[in-house]
Amino acid sequence: MTTASLKRIVEEALAEVGANVNFLLVPKGKARSTTWLGIEHGFGIRHYPSGRNVYIVQTRMAGRQRTVTIGPASVLTRHQAQMVAGRVIAYAQVGRDPATDRKRIRSAPRFDDFLEEYWSRWSPQWKASTLATHDGYRRQYLDGAFKGVFIDELNEENVTKWFADRNNRSGPGAANRTLEILKNMLNKAEVWGYRLEHTNPCRSVRPNKRRQCERFLSTEELARFDHMLAELRASENLTIRSGCSFITLLLLTGCRYREILTLQ
């Protein structure tokens, strides 16, 4: 793999994570020290006497150790640099040239086609309730989400914009749930050979904080609830009567759902 090939790999990976790097900002001369970050093997940050810091990645290529400059820490976030490092390492492991990879990209499906393939191959393993929920999220938030984009081209910028739009349109809960579905989809795209390993752009998108909701029933609400349970206990249906007893035990004991469910 040539120096020109490595440069193209880094440039393409930087474009995928939405980073615009001016390599004139990369300092010349001998680095003072290197801190290995331990996230990706060989991924680190070099510290120069001028005070500038530069992300690098070291990996073996064609039988020798190579050091590849990713970009200045003043421009790149650590996660962006990590994504680029993972891309370089992946290329080094498989020995691909970017020109060869572009041919592979052309044979990869577009997002909508991959969505259909993922659903047909993976949804049979879901429970009926999970399938119903996921179908709803797919119809509302995934169908047509990345029109014309090949699954290998889907990058951090695409996903970040999509997630922000989902937050604005559907709220944080639905956005989080759909992001998790998309993340699993792109993991499968790597397993099935449509994307290079460790390039899932969803890893860089931080989900919304989950709000803990807790509310106690008022005295009036408890009274109405108890009245309804009393009516249902008079039912001739054993399942309904058992359900009422189950709910009553939960109310009176404070036990967890499964503690009552498995009670002998």
Residue 49 placed within a domain: yes
Cα 27 to chain centroid distance, Å, stands at 34
Of the candidates 105, 127, 160, which is a domain's last residue? 105
Distance, CA of 117 to CA of 119 (rounded, Å): 5
Co-location of 60 and 132 in the same domain: no
| Contact between residue 71 and residue 114 where contact means Cβ atoms under 8 Å apart | no
Co-location of 91 and 164 in the same domain: no
Cβ-based neighbour number of residue 142 at 10 Å? 21
Name residues whose C-beta falls within 8 Å of residue 176's C-beta, 6 or more positions apart in sequence: 207, 208, 210
Residue 164 placed within a domain: yes
Residue 212 placed within a domain: no
In the chain, DSSP assigns E strands to: 33-36, 43-47, 53-61, 64-72
| Contact between residue 151 and residue 114 where contact means Cβ atoms under 8 Å apart | yes
Supply the DSSP symbol for 38: S
Tokens of 258: 């499964």
Q: Is 162 exposed, middle or buried (0-12, 13-18, 19+ CB in 10 A)?
A: buried
Residue 87 placed within a domain: yes
Looking at residue 3, its pLDDT comes to: 59
Tokens of 82: 């990590």
Supply the DSSP symbol for 110: B
Co-location of 99 and 115 in the same domain: no
CATH number at residue 114: 1.10.150
Looking at residue 22, its pLDDT comes to: 63
Tokens of 131: 């399938």
Whether the predicted model's global pTM rises above the 0.75 cut: no
Give the mean pLDDT per block of 10 residues along the chain (264 residues): 67 74 62 77 86 86 77 86 82 58 63 96 93 95 93 88 92 93 95 84 88 77 89 89 87 82 75
Co-location of 95 and 120 in the same domain: no
Co-location of 18 and 84 in the same domain: yes
Residue 88 placed within a domain: yes
Distance, CA of 246 to CA of 248 (rounded, Å): 5
Nearest CA to 183 out of 212, 203, 161, 207 is that of 203
Co-location of 113 and 93 in the same domain: no
Residues spanned by the domain of 232? 219-261
Co-location of 46 and 91 in the same domain: yes
Number of domains forming the structure of the chain:
3
Nearest CA to 141 out of 174, 188, 111, 173 is that of 174
Co-location of 235 and 255 in the same domain: yes
H helices present in 95-215, as ranges: 98-107, 111-122, 128-137, 156-170, 172-191
Looking at residue 67, its pLDDT comes to: 83
Residue 159 placed within a domain: yes
Residue 17 placed within a domain: yes
Looking at residue 99, its pLDDT comes to: 45
Co-location of 98 and 11 in the same domain: yes
Co-location of 96 and 70 in the same domain: yes
Distance, CA of 137 to CA of 171 (rounded, Å): 13
In 16-52, DSSP assigns E strands to: 33-36, 43-47
Residue 237 placed within a domain: yes
